[in-house]
């Protein structure tokens, strides 16, 4: 006996329609090519017959792949300006045919990447070089002021891309990321002129991973020359994640003002940001090396910066390794190495609304002035060869002052006092050997640093200072204390991640 199945058309037809629409959308995703020798009139977007401008190619819509052939894109319509949004399953992809060979040149008047339409989402950009943006940012991804959190630009991914800044006098950065959320910037680098090399302003759940940033100049004559200027800033930003970011070789500055590696900042700036402080941010495996000024800094002129965590971080060769002068609470420093400068730390104390600072399992060494300066809960730290070791602070119950036998900034050697001496059974000081991914330490080697040949070619084309005088970025960092690069890190190296970005784990979105 055959069974008969009753169907309800009111249910069946909407399901069938959704099914066919989904598969039709997926099947319509296409690949288009763009070239400086292409044509919008005679071209059809194929590899053999490419279009001339991205502006024209973008008329094909979102969810497609747009491939830039090798060459200089220095003409109207050749920048990445307000590309069409993709989707979770079919993002809009814009990529170089060969990494580093497609150069978007703003001709002194345009940003190489310029995304400013609120709500733009699911864009992936890979393998480019950006330059010559005049007094504007090389990369500008900014929702309009006052955009609600839900309607901010979101799910933007940029990988394997370098940007050179030329904003000497205006209040612009090399990478300007403002009022965006749920986005990833992985294996990117920046150098040149700008107030900050990479600034996240009013951001939420922004991840910056394996970036290299070098601040070269900002005079600020058309703005405020005495304002802060750093390699990187998180300003009025919440719930964001920095992993294996390198900030190095910042030069001297004109006009005064604080400068250095990274600044976590806050201020009450009206509807330009959804927050007035920077809180719930996590910094893992960062290296702030040889910068003029502060290696790491956290302060606010608005709401108190709260619950920011630094772990496995090196700040070396800066004036202050870390400074937390005002309006910061619940700052956690765990497994950090702070030294080679004038001051290991400065904590402003309760009178400056600096409360509940924790410094643990860390090495503070060879600071010509104080090692630990200011009110802090200190424990399991090795505080050695500073002048003095403590100023306005007291040693923790398990603190020590022992010659650490430090050969490399990135690890403790077997048989030395810091090896295995931390409260968690790990090493005192930072260990930066493996890659972080979404807040988790992986087993994938960080060294040799990915894309370092491209990074050196870009940052050292017209510069010889700092790491440009070494064989590679890896050699520079590992050999900073005068010892040769360990053989196990001299060869090999990983490749870029190919999995889609995930939101950072363990972070909580807080809307004020």
In the chain, the N- to C-terminal Cα span, in Å, equals 65
Percentage of residues of the chain with pLDDT beyond 70? 90
Residue found under tokens 């005064």: 256
Would you say 321 and 279 are in contact if contact means Cβ atoms under 8 Å apart?
no
Closest by Cα among 80, 169, 90 to 128: 80
* CA 329/CA 308 separation, integer angstroms: 8
**Distances from the Cα of 417 to the Cα of 421, 480, 486, angstroms:** 7, 21, 20
- Other C-beta atoms closer than 10 Å to the C-beta of 40 total 16
Retrieve residue 413's tokens: 């050697």
Burial class (CB in 10 A: 0-12, 13-18, 19+), 271: exposed
**Helical residues (DSSP H) of 139-275, grouped into ranges:** none
Written in H, E and C, the secondary structure of 1-34 is CCCCCCCCHHHHHHHHHHHHHHHHHHHHCCEEEE
**Distances from the Cα of 326 to the Cα of 92, 111, 139, 201, 373, angstroms:** 43, 35, 31, 19, 14
Q: Is the bond preceding residue 30 a cis peptide, omega within 30 degrees?
A: no
Find the angle CA(138)-CA(496)-CA(52) to the nearest 5 degrees.
Answer: 45
* CA 352/CA 55 separation, integer angstroms: 51
* CA 105/CA 168 separation, integer angstroms: 17
* CA 146/CA 137 separation, integer angstroms: 21
**pLDDT of amino acid 496:** 37
Reduced to 3 states, what is the DSSP secondary structure of residue 351?
Answer: helix
At 132-181, the pLDDT tens digits run 999 999 999 999 999 999 999 999 999 999 999 999 999 999 999 999 99
What's the DSSP call for residue 306? E
* CA 321/CA 340 separation, integer angstroms: 8
**pLDDT of amino acid 14:** 54
* CA 178/CA 201 separation, integer angstroms: 5
Which are the contacts of 88, defined by CB distance < 8 A and separation ≥ 6? 122, 155
Reduced to 3 states, what is the DSSP secondary structure of residue 428?
Answer: coil
Would you say 512 and 274 are in contact if contact means Cβ atoms under 8 Å apart?
yes
Retrieve residue 216's tokens: 């070269």
Q: Is the bond preceding residue 388 a cis peptide, omega within 30 degrees?
A: yes
**pLDDT of amino acid 205:** 98
Whole-structure pTM value: 0.92
At 92-148, the pLDDT tens digits run 999 999 999 999 999 999 999 999 999 999 999 999 999 999 999 999 999 999 999
* CA 445/CA 218 separation, integer angstroms: 35
**pLDDT of amino acid 252:** 81
Would you say 198 and 231 are in contact if contact means Cβ atoms under 8 Å apart?
yes
Helix (H) or strand (E) holding 154: strand 153-166
Residues of the chain with pLDDT under 70: 1-27, 491-512
**Which segments of 13-152 are extended strands (E)?**
31-34, 65-68, 71-73, 80-81, 92-96, 102-105, 113-115, 121-126, 129-131, 139-142
Would you say 73 and 37 are in contact if contact means Cβ atoms under 8 Å apart?
no
Q: 2 — phi, psi (to 5°)?
A: -80, 140
- Other C-beta atoms closer than 10 Å to the C-beta of 36 total 18
**pLDDT of amino acid 15:** 52
- What pairing do the DSSP bridges indicate for beta strands 102-105 and 129-131? parallel
Burial class (CB in 10 A: 0-12, 13-18, 19+), 3: exposed
């Amino acid at each position: 006996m055959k069974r008969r199945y009753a169907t309800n058309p009111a249910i069946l037809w909407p399901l069938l329609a959704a099914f066919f629409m989904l598969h039709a959308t997926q099947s319509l995703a296409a690949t288009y090519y763009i070239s400086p020798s292409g044509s919008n009139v005679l071209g059809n977007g194929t590899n053999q017959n490419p279009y001339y401008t991205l502006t024209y190619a973008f008329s094909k819509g979102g969810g497609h792949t747009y491939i830039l052939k090798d060459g200089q894109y220095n003409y109207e319509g050749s920048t990445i300006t307000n590309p069409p949004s993709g989707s979770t399953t079919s993002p809009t992809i814009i990529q170089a045919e060969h990494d580093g060979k497609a150069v978007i040149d703003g001709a002194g008047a345009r940003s190489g990447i310029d995304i400013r339409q609120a709500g733009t989402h699911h864009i992936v950009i890979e393998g480019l070089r950006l330059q010559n943006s005049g007094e504007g940012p090389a990369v500008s991804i900014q929702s309009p002021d006052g955009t609600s959190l839900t309607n901010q630009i979101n799910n933007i991914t940029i990988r394997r891309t370098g940007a050179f800044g030329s904003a000497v006098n205006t209040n612009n950065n090399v990478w300007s990321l403002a009022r965006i959320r749920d986005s990833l910037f992985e294996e990117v680098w920046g150098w040149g002129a700008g107030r900050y090399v990479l600034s996240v302003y009013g951001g939420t759940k922004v991840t910056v991973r394996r970036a290299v940033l070098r601040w070269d100049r900002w005079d600020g004559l058309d703005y405020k020359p005495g304002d802060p200027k750093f390699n990187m800033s998180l300003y009025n930003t919440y719930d964001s994640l920095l992993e294996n970011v390198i900030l190095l070789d910042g030069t001297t500055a004109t006009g005064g003002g604080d400068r250095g590696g990274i600044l976590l900042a806050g201020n009450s700036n009206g509807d330009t940001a959804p927050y007035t402080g920077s809180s719930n941010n996590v910094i893992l495996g960062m290296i702030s090396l040889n910068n003029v000024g502060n290696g790491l800094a956290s302060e606010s002129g608005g709401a108190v910066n709260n619950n920011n965590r630094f772990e496995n971080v090196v700040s070396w060769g800066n004036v202050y390794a870390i400074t937390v002068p005002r309006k910061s609470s619940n700052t956690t420093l765990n497994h950090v190495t702070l030294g080679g400068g004038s001051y290991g730390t400065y904590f402003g104390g309760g009178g400056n609304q600096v409360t509940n600072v924790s410094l643990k399992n860390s090495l503070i060494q060879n600071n010509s002035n104080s090692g630990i300066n200011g009110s802090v809960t200190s424990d399991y730290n090795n505080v050695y060869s500073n002048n003095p070791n403590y100023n306005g602070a007291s040693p923790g119950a398990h603190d020590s002052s022992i010659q650490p036998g430090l050969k490399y900034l990135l690890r403790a050697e077997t048989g030395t006092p810091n090896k295995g001496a931390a409260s968690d059974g790990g090493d005192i000081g930072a260990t930066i050997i493996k890659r972080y991914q979404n807040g988790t330490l992986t087993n994938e080697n960080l060294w040799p640093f990915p894309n370092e040949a491209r990074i050196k070619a870009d940052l050292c084309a017209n510069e010889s200072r700092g790491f440009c005088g070494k064989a590679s970025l890896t050699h520079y960092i590992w050999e900073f204390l005068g010892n040769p690069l360990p053989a196990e890190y001299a060869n090999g190296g990983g490749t870029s991640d190919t999995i889609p970005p995930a939101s950072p784990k363990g972070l909580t979105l807080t809307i004020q």
